[in-house]
Amino acid sequence: MADKPSIPVEGVIKDVPPPPPRSAGNPVFRMMGMPNFRFKLPSRNWLIFLSVTGSFTTAVLYDRYHKKRAQQRWCNIVSHIAREPLPTTQMPRKITIFLSAPPGDTIRAAREHFHEYVKPVLAAAAMDWDVIEGRREGDVRAGLAEKIRKRRRKDGETPANSDETKSSEEGENLVQTLRGTSGVKDWEGVQGDLVLGRHTWKEYIRGLHEGWLGPLDPPPDTAESSNSKNDASPIPSEQSSAADDTPQTSDTLAKSDPLSASGDPAKPPSDSPQAAPKKEEKPKAPVQIPPYVSTSAYPSAPIAPTIPDILPPAAILPLPHLLGFLNTPIRIYRFLNRRHLADETGRQVAALVLASHIRPWDPKSEFMGSAPIPGQENVPQAYSIPTTLERWELEDVLEGEERDWHKVAWKRYQGEPERVWRNSMVIDPRIGERMRRFDLLSDQEDQARKDDGEDPAAKGLWANIKETLGWEEDRSVKGWEHGNFGEESE
């Protein structure tokens, strides 16, 4: 095939300059055998990815840093209590911690919150504590009420069935008896209670009223229901005696003795109970003690004669817990602002540990409301008469947390027991006037803010290098700075 003749095109082909030679790069890297790195800006997608991940990582690290400083700030203000000497014949101060599983979740969330925000401050002050946990609604109420009833019996109140209570509490009082004989005394100062979350606070108030206003003996209906749930149904004596009197035939012997039927001890018969695998039974949850007194019976219930004039003060800590996929933006915002939660929690715990200022709850506030006309409860609300309602400060504590509760806390079931979380709080004036709360003085808070969470025992790498080389600045005030005469170094 003949070659096609080339047609020269004038003015089209021009002399194109050759491309510049590629830079050889750094000769040092080239002699070391390293490749020639060409630094350039990443692509658009990489810029978006790096900016998003870098911003989120920076926000997390910034929040974590200030969270640790906030916790260290309140640990420093209570650390001097751990260094105070304690006599060998005196027990340390012990506080009671009340925590319960948040609505719609397990108790693990409350425990993690306690270990992350509360325990560091308590450990810095070398505090001892006792915990009352609630895995479901009503457990904290029942535990606190039973604790108060035991204290009333110890102080001299005698229930009707005193023999049963004495036999059940002998083991618990054994430790106290041994301490008394050895001369060990309990803490004589303020003890205090620590409550986590609004739901636990409502159970705490309910248990406090039940313990001091309720009877020592359970009501008849309560005792019967608890006994029917706790007692196992035994085999009737007639059936057992009839089973013993039946004649033992060859079939019954074969069923009772696997060796007689198969002859091989390693192979029991297929219809024997040993052949079927045994199912492990899960341990049943303990039966919850029903309340001994209802909220409607508070005005007519007699108060315990052994109640002190001032009840143990309490510190209420926030426990924000929000569930749900649609609440993800709010949860991310809270995750990136945990430093504020650590600061507020540390402040409340420090006020409990120092116990320098204990004040009563603010008196009840009055506001106008509406109530139905007496004898005409079915009248519409528009025809109701105005009235003055009372509301205690106790009812307003952490009230905003109820908006974050799971819908399980608001569901109604047929034949359900008392719902402490869903019901409104009822305060009896005889109990509310005796309750106290911890508060932090302004001077102590200002001193903690000045420290700004700096740990004197922890120094950075550069601070240790300067101290080793003797380059650390002398920040002591010189005499000449106060107006004294002398050399500048004096």
Distance from C-alpha of 118 to C-alpha of 317, rounded to nearest angstrom: 9
CA angle 71, 77, 80 (to 5 degrees): 125
Tokens 């059936």: give the residue. 239
pLDDT in tens, 103-159: 999 999 999 999 999 999 999 999 999 999 999 999 999 999 999 999 998 888 887
Helix/strand number for the chain, H first, E second: 16, 8
Q: What pLDDT score does 107 carry?
A: 94
Q: Is the pTM of this model over 0.85?
A: no
pLDDT of 434 > 70? The answer is yes
Tokens 């139905």: give the residue. 372
> Cβ(359)–Cβ(446) under 8 Å?
no
Distance from C-alpha of 347 to C-alpha of 362, rounded to nearest angstrom: 20
For CA atoms 25, 30, 32, 37, the dihedral sign is: positive
Q: What pLDDT score does 207 carry?
A: 93
pLDDT in tens, 207-265: 999 999 999 888 776 555 555 444 433 334 334 434 444 444 444 434 444 434 444 44
* Pairing between β-strand 94-100 and β-strand 193-196 as defined by DSSP bridges: parallel
Distance from C-alpha of 106 to C-alpha of 4, rounded to nearest angstrom: 87
Question: Coil, strand, or helix at residue 367?
Answer: strand
Comparing 424 with 289, the larger pLDDT belongs to: 424
Distance from C-alpha of 454 to C-alpha of 69, rounded to nearest angstrom: 7
Q: What pLDDT score does 369 carry?
A: 54
Comparing 30 with 197, the larger pLDDT belongs to: 197
> Cβ(404)–Cβ(321) under 8 Å?
yes
Distance from C-alpha of 149 to C-alpha of 157, rounded to nearest angstrom: 9
Arithmetic mean of pLDDT, 338-363: 92
Distance from C-alpha of 133 to C-alpha of 101, rounded to nearest angstrom: 8
Burial 175-200 (b: 16+ CB within 10 A, else e): eeeeeeeeeeeeeeeebbbbbbbbbb
**Mean pLDDT score across all residues of the chain:** 78
Tokens 């079939």: give the residue. 251
Least confident of 233-237, 368-372, 387-391: 233-237
Which of 300, 321, 297, 287 shows the shortest CA–CA distance to 417? 287
Comparing 121 with 267, the larger pLDDT belongs to: 121
pLDDT in tens, 88-117: 888 889 999 999 999 999 999 999 999 999
Q: What pLDDT score does 222 carry?
A: 59
